Structure 1
């Protein structure tokens, strides 16, 4: 992201870095579109921090060499070998970045948390309807005007967007648009 808040032409989505780190046994606590969170407890010594630093440096080196996805992210490659066969890491990063820019994900996320769905019934009442089989599954694009029976909690950021008993209305449509982008 540029200083003025616009998206850069180039970006490395954090999900790619997180996947690489996972391949190397490093746990990322939370991943956003372009940020990572690592937690260190009091008992952690400097070798853990150095392992993280080494892995990040190795990622940067491999990214700059534009290695194949097959070599950098073998578990991702195994999910769809035909799709990733000749793909290089910079191509993967740029394709994901373009998707994020095209849908303006940071703005969608901001707008989704700026408005609140309408509370129609208590979470308890909505849950009771769920327990008694008085609910039905609907697609995301059918949610406007429907009372939600379950909590919708996208991660990141890990904050509930819709609580049981709430209804997405036209005014709270940005919530739905954000969820559709994530799907």
Structure 2
């Protein structure tokens, strides 16, 4: 790379993080926004693979041998997304494969869907919730090995989200994004964590195809509806 200035920060040239509008650096939501999940679904349908997706940012990794023509494909598709967003193109036209898998979105416009998901994030204050749950007071109740022993000997019960507060998990609970473990086996669920899980449940029910993934949640279909549980130490 040649000589670098003192205190110069070298960024990895094959990695790019793209920020979408809707959330500022202080965690405040704008009146309108474009959640990153919509952009990445759009890009995937147009041949661009995204590595990681957050609430309002996503991460793209190039290869060492990439050419200007290849990375320009990403720029072209982002420009096309903006055009389709500005004109509120129907999803059946710009994301036909996604609509085929999720017909409920057939008559929804791209901008309308972005507004609906953004409003859901804002209504729940999801930026605040995700921050508070990681900063909340974690309460270990037993060693992870003891929690695993309960799981191995089936001294567990499947507890619905609404009844989780105060219960001891036998599972590693990891929401994505950000993909950082939230609870390890042997810790108790607290109110901020349960609040986030309620958001995930409600969001997934309203926006199929854009589900918030939480490792450790058990999803079961009951009476035509998805129910969410966590395996906890039996009281």
**1:106-121 matches, cutoff 5 A:** 106-121=127-142
1:41 & 1:128 partners in 2: Cα distance? 44
**1:33-48 matches, cutoff 5 A:** 33-48=55-70
Unaligned runs of 5+ in 1: none
Structure with greater helix share of residues: 1
| SS state at 1:38 partner | strand
**8 Å CA contact retained: 2:147, 2:170:** yes
Per-residue deviation, 1:60: 0.9
Two-structure CA RMSD over aligned residues (Å)? 1.7
Q: Which has the higher mean CA deviation after the structures are superposed, 44-53 or 66-75?
A: 44-53
Q: Deviations over 1:124-160 (max 9, x none)?
A: 2211211221112111111112110001111100001
Unaligned runs of 5+ in 2: 1-22, 202-235
Q: How many residues align?
A: 179
| SS state at 2:80 partner | helix
1:174 aligns with 2:192: yes
**8 Å CA contact retained: 2:27, 2:128:** no
Aligned to 1:147: 168
Match of 1:28 among 42, 46, 50: 50
1:152 & 1:84 partners in 2: Cα distance? 30
Once superposed, which parts of structure 1, at least 4 consecutive aligned residues long, lie more than 6 Å away? none
| SS state at 1:59 partner | helix
Per-residue deviation, 1:2: 4.8
Structure scoring higher RCO (CA < 8 A, sep ≥ 6) equals 1
Aligned to 2:106: 85
Structure with greater strand share of residues: 2
